[in-house]
Amino acid sequence: MVVMDMDYTLLNKNKGVSPGNKEALAEAAKKGVHLVVATGRIYSSARFYTRLLGLNTPIIASNGAIIKEDATNRIMFQSILLDEVALEMIRLCKEQGLYCHLYSQDTVYTEKIINISQRYSEWNQKLNGGDRINIEVVSSLEKTVENERGKILKAVVVDNDKEKLAYIREKMIKTGKVSVSQSLKDNLEVMNKGINKGNAVKILAQIYGIEQDEIIAIGDNENDISMIEYAGLGIAMGNAVDELKEKADYITGTYDEDGVAQALWKFVI
């Protein structure tokens, strides 16, 4: 099984999949390798790319809070964010003058189109209706937590003020009820304790009967570390953060050098 992060790993700078990566993925699939996308993105965004690639595979989304098969629409695993965690994240963001966003599997909830919801909104303009991300602007995220109970998977905040993000991160960790990570320098993502990409990869491996040493994981940022550590072979992109490179068994090319394809040709194909 090969598990790949999306942004700055599988996707190029134009948020597309290069011909080189497509070719390598197709060759790996011919060999019967399970190809899995693991992302911090909302599920419906990741689904768009797996369909584009023609991959019939489970998708790990929201940093491992959900694993779902597109072809069968079967949820293989999900971890609904605790109400108290979501509410504390909302409170801390408002205290710092920031806008929290909540993710279900197909909807981004926000009180203002800004940062991450702005990016999804711009992306939607390029897509057909069925591929677009639902963005719901609400008057109160607190009420959304109540109204959408049983659906919220992750809370995320995006801002360039690293001190504010660090403050919120510290406060959330002190609750003892969360996993926190960053997929970019300007964001902070909060899931239930124990939820991460590595945990999701472990769950999938158990479902498929795949041994740990038969797993390759490829990523670039902090939220990929757990799966890099779990996999039998952890591969860092050439553009990966130093913290991940230190954990990796091998460093491949950058995302604009088709680093995923390089790794697949070297270790799989």
Indicate if 71 and 204 belong to the same structural domain. Answer: yes
CATH code of residue 35: 3.40.50.1000
Indicate if 168 and 107 belong to the same structural domain. Answer: yes
Helix (H, G, I), strand (E, B) or coil at 136: strand
Indicate if 169 and 224 belong to the same structural domain. Answer: no
Q: How does DSSP classify residue 230?
A: H
Indicate if 91 and 187 belong to the same structural domain. Answer: yes
pLDDT digits (tens, 9 = 90+) for 125-139: 888 777 888 999 999
Residue type, 128: N
Helix (H, G, I), strand (E, B) or coil at 187: strand
What's the mean per-residue pLDDT of the chain? 94
Contacts of residue 27, Cβ cutoff 8 Å, sequence gap at least 6? 264, 269
- The token duo for 55 is 């991959």
Indicate if 205 and 107 belong to the same structural domain. Answer: no
Residue 216 is predicted with a pLDDT of: 98
Indicate if 169 and 252 belong to the same structural domain. Answer: no
pLDDT digits (tens, 9 = 90+) for 176-221: 999 999 877 889 999 999 999 999 999 999 999 999 999 999 999 9
- The token duo for 35 is 């190809």
CATH code of residue 87: 3.30.1240.10
pLDDT digits (tens, 9 = 90+) for 107-126: 999 999 999 999 889 888 88
Between CA 218 and CA 28 the distance in angstroms is 14
Residue 34 is predicted with a pLDDT of: 93
Residue type, 268: V
Residue 66 is predicted with a pLDDT of: 98
pLDDT digits (tens, 9 = 90+) for 10-21: 998 888 899 999
Helix (H, G, I), strand (E, B) or coil at 21: helix
Which of 152, 172, 192 represents a domain boundary (last residue)? 192
Which of 140, 167, 192 represents a domain boundary (last residue)? 192
28-52 mean pLDDT:
91
The tally of domains found in the chain comes to 2
128-157 mean pLDDT:
94
Structural domain boundaries enclosing 112: 83-192
Indicate if 209 and 188 belong to the same structural domain. Answer: no
Contacts by 259-265, CB closer than 8 A, 24 or more apart: 259/9, 259/218, 260/4, 260/9, 260/10, 260/21, 260/24, 260/25, 260/218, 261/18, 261/20, 261/21, 261/23, 261/24, 261/25, 263/216, 263/218, 263/235, 264/2, 264/24, 264/25, 264/27, 264/28, 265/24
Whether 40 shows a pLDDT value over 90: the answer reads yes
Residue 132 is predicted with a pLDDT of: 87
Which of 160, 192, 224 represents a domain boundary (last residue)? 192
74-80 mean pLDDT:
96
Whether 57 shows a pLDDT value over 90: the answer reads no
Angle, CA of 14, 113 and 197, to the nearest 5°? 55
Share of the chain above pLDDT 70, in %: 100
Indicate if 146 and 242 belong to the same structural domain. Answer: no
Please state the φ and ψ torsions of residue 106, each to the nearest 5 degrees: -135, 5
* CB neighbourhood size of 65 (10 A): 29
Between CA 200 and CA 86 the distance in angstroms is 21
DSSP string, 28-84: HHHTT--EEEE-SS-HHHHHHHHHHHT---EEEEGGGTEEEETTT--EEEE-PPPHH
Indicate if 211 and 140 belong to the same structural domain. Answer: no
Indicate if 42 and 112 belong to the same structural domain. Answer: no
Which has the closest alpha carbon to 179: 200, 165, 193, 197?
A: 193
Indicate if 98 and 32 belong to the same structural domain. Answer: no
Indicate if 72 and 92 belong to the same structural domain. Answer: no
Between CA 21 and CA 91 the distance in angstroms is 42
Residue 54 is predicted with a pLDDT of: 79
Q: Are 85 and 177 in contact (CB under 8 A)?
A: yes
25-32 mean pLDDT:
94
